Amino acid sequence: MKSASSKLRNVREKLGLTMGDVEEASQRLARKYNNEAYLITPGRLSDFETKGAIPSIVRLYSLAIIYRREFGELLSWFGVDLNQVASDIEVSKPPRTHFSEALPKNGELKDQVRIDPGLDPRRTSTFAPLIEPWGPLSAGYLEQLPTKRHSYGYIGMDDFTMYPLLPPGSFIQIDESRKRVLRAGWRSEYERPIYLIQTRDGYICSWCAHANGELVLLPHPLSPMAPQTVRVPEADVIGQVIGAAIRLGDPRKEDGKAEGYET
């Protein structure tokens, strides 16, 4: 496997750029942003290409622009894979529920897959062998994707509001176009809309109801948490939860206990 140093040198040589050319281009970026951190001298570039020196974030951006490569690709050469954000984010387990800025709102269709038509939904099976690449997608479908306002959140390890439906540590997907709190129309707790709400004290994921001009945040009946009432101007409905990746097992055993529970 080629090192980051050799990749940087190879891509420069393939473009026919000299070290002086790189310096001149980086100077233009430095002048544009009035920041000398964008400047890459031949000496520094030689360190990157031959001595294994790691560029600063700003200089790496300069190289990505000059070499016409995606910034994320150059980061991956140095061991930072942005495609791993969704899995790496689990190393941190904040106690409070929050709106996630780490995951993209509009996903890219890089690794498109579809379910194998031979899948029998009545039987349990491993998932990996049952997917295969998509064929070409219609332009009309692709044009609709950027219009969807999907965001992501995380249920804090101390937040048992929707337990056991949404245990602490769950990741949730939010449709920001669905901000209106519905009053009826569901047949079970699984169909009742769940919303991510921002209050003065932070975020909370719960069922909601309106009462006397106030917003009532309703926990799951099995939750130890109590309902909360907030004034509408003090609460912002981020959107409706439309998907979730949940943890199985007892979160109390892994990360402590919630108020009202004993271990």
Residues with Cβ within 8 Å of residue 206, at least 6 apart in sequence: 161, 162, 194, 195, 197, 217, 218, 219
Residue 176 is part of a domain; what is its CATH number? 2.10.109.10
Residue 76 lies in a domain: yes
Total domain count for the chain?
2
Residue 16 lies in a domain: yes
Could you read off the pLDDT of 91-122 as tens digits, one per residue? Answer: 888 888 887 777 655 444 444 444 455 544 44
* Lowest pLDDT segment from 102-106, 206-210, 238-242: 102-106
Residue 35 lies in a domain: yes
**Identity of residue 127:** F
What local confidence, expressed as pLDDT, does residue 257 receive? 46
% pLDDT > 70, the chain = 77
Strands 228-231 and 214-218: antiparallel
Residue after which a domain boundary falls, among 54, 80, 106? 80
Are residues 155 and 248 located together in one domain of the fold?
yes
CA distance 76 to 83: 9
Could you read off the pLDDT of 42-58 as tens digits, one per residue? Answer: 999 999 999 999 999 99
Mean pLDDT of the residues in the chain: 81
Give the residue numbers spanning the domain of 250.
Answer: 149-255
CA distance 248 to 261: 18
Residue after which a domain boundary falls, among 64, 80, 96? 80
Residue after which a domain boundary falls, among 48, 80, 112? 80
Are residues 69 and 155 located together in one domain of the fold?
no
Residues with Cβ within 8 Å of residue 51, at least 6 apart in sequence: 5
Burial (CB count within 10 angstroms: exposed 0-12, middle 13-18, buried 19+), residue 52? exposed
Are residues 163 and 250 located together in one domain of the fold?
yes
Measured in degrees and rounded to the nearest 5, phi and psi for residue 98 equal -150, 165
Strands 195-199 and 236-245: antiparallel
Are residues 162 and 248 located together in one domain of the fold?
yes
Are residues 166 and 249 located together in one domain of the fold?
yes
* Lowest pLDDT segment from 56-60, 145-149, 226-230, 247-251: 145-149
Are residues 74 and 156 located together in one domain of the fold?
no
Residue 105 lies in a domain: no
Residue 71 is part of a domain; what is its CATH number? 1.10.260.40
Residue 229 lies in a domain: yes
Residue 131 lies in a domain: no
Residue 158 lies in a domain: yes
Helix (H, G, I), strand (E, B) or coil at 100: strand
Residues 231/216, Cβ–Cβ less than 8 Å: no
Residue 196 lies in a domain: yes
Model pTM score = 0.55
DSSP string for 107-153 = ---SS-EEE-TT--TTS---SGGGEEE--PPPHHHHHHGGG--EEEE
